[in-house]
Chain A
């Protein structure tokens, strides 16, 4: 009966050694913690993927220019984890300000009140939060406007050839996805040249986008345009087109008209390769810059005005590519 105790203690030691090793390596990353009185900003994202990486870099760049330090956490799409991490940042790490991409615009409310109670400026970016009165500043895209911008590309193209459109929709639980859908639908409604023949929900899942596009092309072979609500679904759509023998470059009469939103590296590359007709670019750099300057204002004891900013996307299409692409984040990073 001595043995298991021994084994357990050994395991405990081994476990802690492991944690130690893991932490040791990260300590170097997080750098000069507590040295001097540098302003520390807690940044918490809902998840990490291509566009989030760009948003993270934009914040880090602007923060470095302002001489601020950044502590970064990701909530892995778990609203409870996000609320815990923000609590840790505010109460234990005692950060001077927060920049948050909410997993859920409603369920972030408790974190917003916590920050307010502790007088920590709370900046929401990318996804709008419900509790507008209690945040310091918010900068988001304008999903409805982005949907409309995308729609206007279709309307322009429809003037030369009537379009039968397949519309992909993101997750029905995400306000950004709903906004893009609604803006698009509102703008194309009543246009005689545009018919939305099929709406396919993707749940922001590339596999569902691929299968859904394949099935829709099967069901409606006369589809000649597709609205893709995010760049990261573009490879799925193109694979589906290829599998159906419908992938053709711009200029080919068989070409299926494609418009996406985001403006990431892959989207920009597709524009360059003349396989994508238009991309509505999210102003990611603005998010970072304005968030940091709002923090500077708030820490100076002033209110940020305007308190809420919605930035419309930038339409990048084949006609303005040469002049506009320099302003699109995906083209710059690449």
Chain B
């Protein structure tokens, strides 16, 4: 993915007559199934894995465990929304985890020093969005690869957060704020409801608004988008700002779930976030994907991790299984795309 430009160039060169004749994917590919069905192509894999794991473990498919998987996945799910938009433009955001830490820490700091949860949430959201906007502006205005810029941002943001918080966990936060990740309507935590609502909103934005179409357009072919009048730089910058906003929401939810925030808490989530997006079937080359796919990817990783933990699988075995499953799922996508193009 580090070379989206070159690969896209190559794709264009390889299949240029066929591809340019085809309408871009957001107009609907005639030889493809309806969008929502394509989006759910990882669902069978999810069903099979959940099925197998539920046979092997006790209580995997009990309502309470399903709610647990939901609440355990909420943070990754919310951050993955932003990552999906970034990846749809053919970019990548390695700073997600550090922004989760930075927003969570600034929210917790504001809450503990003012006592106001609203002020804390505002501070967290502002932190994430501003970082995202800065990163997005650099990616859009400078001729640099998103990978390198967001890697630099990862270092700077996590270093600065640790430095400013003196490496300490900021706690305690009010009980009502913690409650957000524990309880909610129907016994399902508010954090899960929030993730569901955000997915619905984000999917609507992607498919029903001009901005969403621009995102897909830029990702499918930036040059064509530019010629057809899309402000490519502005669209790219906006996507990273949106990613910053969603990372901030994720950071605040995580702070609620962990009853406090530390600079390092988001770092380990990066791989799950990017993994969920790609596993769901959103292409790293941009232009092809949806939030529905990401939702399936998040649930896939969530159930896999929950199932392996219920099995008491050793942590190194969990790593091997996770790695192998990510590769198999991704190669199914790659082979599928290749055959489709060849046919």
Contact = CB atoms under 8 A, between A and B. Distances in A.
Interface of A: 1, 3-5, 7-16, 18-20, 22-23, 25-27, 29-30, 33-34, 48, 71-74, 76-81, 83-85, 87-88, 91-94, 104-107, 109-110, 113-114, 130, 171-173
A189 to B, nearest CB: 22
B152 interface: no
B306 A80 contact: no
Given A9-B44, A26-B312, A84-B309, A107 B331 contact: no
Contacts of A83: 72, 257-258
A103 to B, nearest CB: 9
Interface stretch (B15-23, B56-64, B124-132, B215-223): B56-64
Contacts of A106: 169-172, 259-260, 262
24 contacts: A1-B31, A4-B340, A5-B41, A11-B45, A19-B49, A19-B304, A22-B308, A22-B321, A30-B312, A48-B315, A71-B312, A74-B314, A80-B268, A84-B72, A88-B306, A93-B58, A107-B259, A107-B265, A109-B178, A109-B259, A110-B182, A130-B172, A173-B167, A173-B263
Nearest to A105: B169
A110 to B, nearest CB: 5
Nearest to A82: B258
Nearest to B64: A91
B259 A110 contact: yes
A79 B258 contact: yes
B336 interface: yes
Contacts of A29: 312, 314
SS class, residues of chain B in contact with chain A: helix
Contacts of B286: none
A48 B314 CA distance: 10
Given A23-B311, A109-B172, A172 B325 contact: no
Contacts of B307: 19, 23
Given A172-B167, A173-B162, A12 B258 contact: no
B320 A15 contact: no
Contact of B262 (A12, A14, A23, A79): A79
Interface string B48-88: 11011100101110101100100110010000000000000
A215 B304 CA distance: 45
Contact of A16 (B48, B181, B259): B48
Given A8-B41, A76-B315, A92-B60, 11 more contacts: A3-B336, A15-B324, A15-B329, A23-B56, A88-B310, A93-B310, A104-B265, A106-B260, A107-B169, A130-B171, A173-B262
B257 A80 contact: yes
B200 interface: no
Contacts of A110: 178, 181-182, 257-259
A30 B45 contact: no
Interface string B4-48: 000000000000000000000000000111000000011011011
Contact of A91 (B65, B305, B321, B332): B65
A92 B59 contact: yes
Contacts of B42: 8, 12
Interface in B272-324: 304-315, 317, 320-321, 324
